[in-house]
Structure 1
């Protein structure tokens, strides 16, 4: 029974150590920041294109998707 307790404690300890150390290096290195700061790396690099795509999508789907504007399947606003 003692052997089982020691083994389970070791497994729990290793699991905790691996879990905690898995998020230790989540930061961005200084030499990588110039690449991530480029406008092409943005989530929405072209707001105008995104707006046009949203308009076309919601016109075809006949839904506003929580964007709080009027319109239906006809494409009119």
Structure 2
């Protein structure tokens, strides 16, 4: 019986992930609005990332190298 437990867990996970609702065509217009974006203002997000890299004296995961002085 212990060998069937992982198979049952995997099968139940696969069945549960298939229950996600689909986005209907008339709902896509609502999701495309600017306030639904992860970063609505790309310039502001870039400046915030630059300040974070400068203050933390490190960078990583967001591209670009440089020191902590802010003079990339």
Q: Which structure 1 residue ranges, 4+ long, deviate > 6 Å from structure 2?
A: none
Q: What is the Cα-based RMSD across aligned positions, in Å? A: 2.8
Structure 2 stretches of 5 or more lacking a match? 2-7
Structure 1 stretches of 5 or more lacking a match? 6-11
TM superposition score normalised by structure 1: 0.61
Computing the radius of gyration from Cα coordinates, the structure with the larger value is 1
TM superposition score normalised by structure 2: 0.64
Q: Alignment length, in residue pairs? A: 65
Higher helix share: 1
